[in-house]
C-alpha cells in the first residue's frame, strides 16, 4: 500500500543520511536556512507498506501572483524503489500540497548525474534514463542543461567536477594529482602556508574576499547573511577554511635556505675543484631568488601586516560527499598557492571520515582550456559531470499563461 504524508525532520534526516543521492540541499539544516528567507517548507514522504522509500524537502518561494514550489536536490529515492506507480502517487501529493499553497508551478531539480565525461568533455556514460522517461509520462516538461545552456541553468549546477575517494588513502591521494598540481601543492608547503578554520566573527572578512573574487570571475556571490546563517544552521557540517602565511616565519624559512647555501658555497670553494663551479653558480642563483622573496615579504608585511590571508573556502560535509561550495583567492597573494593546500587538506579530511566522493561543484563546461576554474580542478584528477537538469509542471495553466503574457508585454513596452 502506497501512502504519502508529512514526515518529521528526524525521520527525514534518518532517510537522507543513508540515501546514496542525499545532498545538503535536502537536509534540515537547509530547511532552517530557507525558512530564514521567509520561504515555505515541508518534508513529504512516500511509504510503501510502512517503509519510507521516497522523501523530499519541498520549498515554496514567493513570486508575483503566487508561489513557485521546488524540490532542489531531490526527490530522494531509496535504491531499487523507483517506479512509475510510486512516482505518480508521490508527485500527485506534492502537486496537491503545492496547489493548496497558491503554487503556479512545481519544479524538480534532482541531484543526479546525466552524463559522466572525461576531462576532454567526451561522454563516458549516460545515466538516469528511467527517471526522465517516468517523469515525462507524468506530465513534467524536461529541460536538460545542455539545451538550457550555461546561462539558462545559472541558478543550478550545470556541470560539476567530482573525485572518487573510495579507493584512496592519505598516501595514494597525492599520487593521483597532475605533476603541475603536485608541484604547486609542495610549493605552498615549502612557503609555510597554514590552514585554519575561522569563527563566525570572521565571516565578514570571508564575505569581503568572496565578493572580490566573484567580481573578478563574473559569478554571483552570496550575502553576508547567507554565510552567517549557514554557519549557524549547518553547525558541524560546515567549515570555513582559510589559507594564511605568517611572513615572519616565511622570511625565516628563506633566511635559513640562504645560510645553508652560503655554507655549501664555502665548502665547495675550499675544495678548489673546477667541476664544482657550476654548483656554486646555481647556489648563488638560488640565494638571489631567496633574497628577492624576502624583500617582497617585507614589503607585504609593511602593507598588510604579519599574516596574509591568501585564500578561503566553504565546505559542507555529508555522509555521501564533501562539497566545495564557495571560495576566494586573494589575487595579490596567488603565488603562494593557498588553494592547492586547501583542496588537498579537505580531501584528506574526507578520506579520514570515509566519505566516498569529493565534489568540487561548478565548472563552466568548456573543455578547450579557456575555463581557468576547470583547469585548476582537473589537476586533482577527478571527472566532469553534466547534471540531469530540471523538470517542471504548471499547476495553474490559465494564470501562468496570463502572467507570462503580461511579462512579455512589459518587455515589449520597455
At 274, give phi and psi (nearest 5°).
-65, -30
Instruction: Say how many CA atoms lie within 13 Å of 318 toward its Cβ.
Output: 26
User: Does residue 150 register a pLDDT over 60?
Assistant: no
User: Does residue 411 register a pLDDT over 80?
Assistant: no
Residue 202 to residue 260: CA distance in whole angstroms: 39
What pLDDT shows up at residue 278?
87
Query: All 3 cell numbers of residue 281?
Result: 653558480
What pLDDT shows up at residue 269?
87
Superfamily of domain 164-247+306-387: Gcn5-related N-acetyltransferase (GNAT) (3.40.630.30)
β-sheet bridge partners, residue 71: 108
Pure H helices in 153-246: 179-191, 203-217, 224-234
Cβ atoms 256, 321 nearer than 8 A: no
Whether 2-110+389-413 shares its CATH topology with 164-247+306-387 is answered yes
Query: All 3 cell numbers of residue 231?
Result: 554557519
Q: Percentage of the chain surpassing pLDDT 70?
A: 95
User: Does residue 152 register a pLDDT over 50?
Assistant: no
Least confident of 123-127, 219-223, 236-240: 219-223
The SS3 of residue 177 is coil
Q: How many CB atoms lie within 10 A of CB 93?
A: 19
- Which residues have a Cβ under 8 Å from the Cβ of 91 and sit 6 or more positions away? 106, 138
User: Does residue 414 register a pLDDT over 80?
Assistant: no
Q: Which CATH number is 2-110+389-413 given?
A: 3.40.630.30
Q: What is the pLDDT of residues 31-86, one digit of tens each?
A: 999 999 899 999 999 999 999 999 999 999 998 778 999 999 999 999 999 999 99
**No. of H helices and E strands in the chain?**
13, 17
Instruction: Give the sign of the dihedral formed by CA 116, CA 181, CA 195, CA 344.
Output: positive
Q: What is the domain partition of the chain in residue ranges?
A: 2-110+389-413, 164-247+306-387, 253-297
Q: What is the pLDDT of residues 82-115, one digit of tens each?
A: 999 999 999 999 999 999 999 999 999 999 999 9
Residue 301 to residue 272: CA distance in whole angstroms: 41
Q: Which residue has the cell 531499487?
A: 80
What pLDDT shows up at residue 151?
47
Amino acid at each position: 500500500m502506497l501512502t504519502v504524508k508529512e514526515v518529521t525532520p528526524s525521520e527525514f534526516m534518518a532517510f537522507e543520511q543513508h540515501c546514496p543521492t542525499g545532498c545538503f540541499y535536502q537536509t534540515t539544516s537547509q530547511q532552517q536556512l530557507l525558512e530564514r528567507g521567509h520561504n515555505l517548507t515541508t518534508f513529504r514522504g512516500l511509504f510503501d507498506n510502512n517503509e519510507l522509500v521516497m522523501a523530499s524537502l519541498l520549498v515554496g518561494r514567493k513570486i508575483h501572483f503566487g508561489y513557485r514550489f521546488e524540490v532542489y536536490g531531490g526527490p530522494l529515492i531509496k535504491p531499487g524503489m523507483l517506479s512509475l506507480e510510486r512516482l505518480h502517487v508521490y508527485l500527485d501529493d506534492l502537486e496537491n500540497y503545492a496547489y493548496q499553497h497558491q503554487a503556479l508551478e512545481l519544479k524538480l531539480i534532482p541531484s543526479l548525474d546525466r552524463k559522466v565525461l572525461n576531462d576532454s568533455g567526451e561522454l563516458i556514460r549516460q545515466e538516469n534514463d528511467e527517471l526522465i522517461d517516468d517523469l515525462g509520462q507524468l506530465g513534467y516538461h524536461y529541460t536538460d542543461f545542455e539545451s538550457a545552456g550555461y546561462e539558462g541553468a545559472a541558478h543550478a549546477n550545470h556541470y560539476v567536477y567530482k573525485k572518487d575517494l573510495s579507493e584512496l588513502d592519505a598516501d595514494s591521494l597525492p599520487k593521483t594529482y597532475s605533476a603541475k598540481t603536485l608541484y604547486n601543492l609542495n610549493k605552498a608547503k615549502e612557503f609555510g602556508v597554514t590552514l585554519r578554520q575561522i569563527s563566525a566573527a570572521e565571516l565578514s572578512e570571508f564575505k569581503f574576499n568572496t565578493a572580490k573574487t566573484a567580481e573578478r570571475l563574473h559569478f554571483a556571490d552570496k550575502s553576508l547573511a547567507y554565510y552567517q546563517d549557514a554557519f549557524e544552521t549547518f553547525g558541524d557540517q560546515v567549515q570555513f577554511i582559510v589559507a594564511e602565511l605568517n611572513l615572519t616565519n616565511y622570511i625565516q624559512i628563506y633566511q635559513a635556505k640562504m645560510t645553508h647555501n652560503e655554507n655549501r658555497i664555502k665548502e665547495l670553494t675550499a675544495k678548489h675543484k673546477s667541476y664544482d663551479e657550476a654548483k656554486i653558480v646555481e647556489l648563488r642563483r638560488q640565494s638571489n631568488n631567496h633574497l628577492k622573496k624576502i624583500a617582497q615579504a617585507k614589503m607585504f608585511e609593511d602593507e598588510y601586516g604579519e599574516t596574509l590571508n591568501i585564500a578561503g573556502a566553504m565546505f559542507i560535509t555529508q555522509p555521501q560527499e564533501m562539497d566545495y561550495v564557495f571560495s576566494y583567492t586573494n589575487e595579490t597573494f596567488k603565488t603562494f598557492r593557498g588553494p592547492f593546500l586547501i583542496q588537498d587538506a579537505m580531501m584528506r579530511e574526507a578520506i579520514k571520515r570515509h566519505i566516498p566522493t569529493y565534489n568540487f561543484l561548478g565548472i563552466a563546461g568548456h573543455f578547450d582550456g579557456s575555463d581557468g576554474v576547470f583547469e585548476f580542478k582537473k589537476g586533482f584528477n577527478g571527472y566532469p559531470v553534466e547534471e540531469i537538469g530540471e523538470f517542471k509542471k504548471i499547476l495553474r495553466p490559465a494564470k501562468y499563461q496570463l502572467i507570462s503574457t503580461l511579462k512579455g508585454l512589459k518587455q515589449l513596452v520597455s
